[in-house]
Amino acid sequence: MLSQSQIKHITALKVKKFREERSQFIAEGHKVVAELLSGKFTIAGIYASSEWILANLPLAREKNIPLFETLPREMERISALSTPSPVLAVINIPPPLIPPRGRGLTLALDDIRDPGNLGTIIRIADWFGIDTVLCSENCVDSYNPKVVQATMGSIARVNVTRCNLAETLRTLPEGNEFPVYGTFLEGESVFSQTLSDHGIVVIGNESRGISPGLVPFITRKLFIPSFGSSAQGKAESLNASIATAIICAEFRRKLKT
């Protein structure tokens, strides 16, 4: 049985303000919690069915994670899912990373508002070996439960840091040593141009694209060519996470071939 104060504490973590105050977030479901158990985060507690606890006791003991047996009706109260799973973890939010200036690719997300998009972009970064995702201050909170679920556990491996993107881009070394890419309708085809194995790729907001304040920092304008027939028109744009996937895949394809 959970106490009322436990239920209140966990429920509060569905709200950004309380996540920030308490530096904690929640993650749910077998797969996501399993990934977090083997990842970089410190887990403050796991709330789970007796079956889950029985199956995961050795690992949780090894990591000194407090376990709380939770009844289905209690899980319904603390869960952020419409269909609660048998396990919910409360996780400590790690301190923000200093944005990287080193090798490799970094994604910089400019006001990505949809939790599904942000979670999916973090999963794409994980798949393509991109270890850092910078989020502008107006992005949806990366510890929002819907974001965490959409990462399918990738949030355990990718460093997601909120920062002022304009400030971060302003302090980068100048010139081609650290290219800053962004997608624009008037850009060059991502398929036909040379791409480097390092730099920052700026991904614009779902409806407005890259904000005017960031445009001066973009040194390489990219475009994903469409192939629709012009006779009947075609899609005007791609979803932000879809565009991210195609661009990341193309960077990685060029790196390997």
- SS3 of residue 220 by DSSP: strand
Phi, psi of 219 (to 5 degrees): -100, -15
Minimum CB–partner distance for residue 22 and a copy of itself (Å): 27
User: Which positions from 60 through 119 interact with a copy of itself, judged by CB under 8 A?
Assistant: 116
Residue given tokens 């410190």 in the structure block:
42
Among 18, 68, 128, 223, binds a copy of itself (CB under 8 A): 128
Helix (H) or strand (E) holding 186: strand 180-189
∠ CA 246-250-254, rounded to 5°: 175
- The residues pairing with 91 across neighbouring beta strands, listed in sequence order, are 25, 43
Among 26, 32, 124, 218, binds a copy of itself (CB under 8 A): 124
Minimum CB–partner distance for residue 240 and a copy of itself (Å): 11
Minimum CB–partner distance for residue 159 and a copy of itself (Å): 11
Minimum CB–partner distance for residue 226 and a copy of itself (Å): 5
- The residues pairing with 233 across neighbouring beta strands, listed in sequence order, are none
- Total residues contacting a copy of itself by CB under 8 A comes to 44
Measured distance CA(30)–CA(123) in Å, rounded: 17
Among 79, 157, 169, 202, binds a copy of itself (CB under 8 A): 157
Q: Which stretch binds a copy of itself (CB under 8 A): 68-76, 122-130, 160-168, 175-183?
A: 122-130
Measured distance CA(89)–CA(25) in Å, rounded: 8
Minimum CB–partner distance for residue 170 and a copy of itself (Å): 29
Distant-in-sequence, close-in-space partners of 64: CB < 8 Å, separation ≥ 6: none
- Residues found near a copy of itself in the complex (CB under 8 A): 35, 38-40, 116, 120, 123-124, 126-129, 131, 152-154, 157, 191-192, 224-229, 232-239, 241-242, 245-246, 249-250, 252-253, 255-257
